[in-house]
Amino acid sequence: MEEKKYSAIVKHYEKCLAKHGDSHLGVDWPNVRDAQKRYSVMLDVIRGASSTEMVSLLDFGCGASHLYEYLKKAGIDHVEYTGLDSSPVFCQLSKDKFPENAYQCLDVLIEPGNLGVYDYVIMNGVFTEKRELNFEDMFEYFKQVLRVVFPNVRHGLAFNVMSKAVDWEREELFHLPTDCLISFLVDELSRHFVIRNDYGLYEYTVYVYKDPVNG
């Protein structure tokens, strides 16, 4: 794949922010209710931790840090939050909003060695849109990013993609067949994963773990 072809995705989100401001529309989610549902589902990747046991979490593709806002409103205070985005525009917005947080403005495919290590990584909306990319280029981008990120995860990683089980597919979205997904996960990342298609949206969320469930 040509270098930085995926920059079309970043530019799309920056255009959404410029048009709609700091809102669900500014990160291209159609409505607040479904966006909130996604945050809840994503955070379910964290397993076995009590409310007093701190876990480190990287919000990969943090955008405007709406996941952090959800954490605060939900009173979830056992998560040590770090945000990462390859867009300088979104990074600056998040830093201005939450100067107490650590943020990285980083393209991990260009500087993979600068990515830290975290207990959990959440990648909400990173792979749901492919914009001008064809399926093959988007799938390759998806695999390249996960190959870089997963070795830096101590416990688990969560991401969402669009489902193939829909009445019609939108050309600009990334509808990933589960057989392609499973082959990649088993061959290159982990055999320990969960595919969630139970929360009522036209997508599915995947939790990928380093180890099987204990007990």
Return d(Cα 142, Cα 136) in angstroms, integer: 10
Mean per-residue pLDDT over the chain, rounded: 94
The reported pLDDT for the residue numbered 48 is 72
Query: Tokens 């989100």 label which residue?
Result: 13
Confidence of residue 50 (pLDDT cuts 50, 70, 90): low
Classify the C-alpha dihedral 31-37-40-41 as positive or negative: negative
Output phi, psi for 208, to 5 deg: -120, 125
What is the C-alpha separation between 42 and 180, in angstroms, rounded? Answer: 21
Ordered alpha helix ranges (H), the chain: 7-20, 32-43, 66-74, 88-97, 135-149, 178-184
Please compute Rg for the chain using Cα positions. 16
Confidence of residue 173 (pLDDT cuts 50, 70, 90): very high
**For 80-107, how does the pLDDT look when each residue is reduced to its tens digit (9 = 90+)?**
999 999 999 999 999 999 999 999 999 9
Q: What is the pLDDT of residues 1-18, one digit of tens each?
A: 445 889 999 999 999 999
Helix axes 66-74, 32-43, angle to 10 degrees: 80
> Measured between alpha carbons, how far apart are the two ends of the chain, in Å?
43
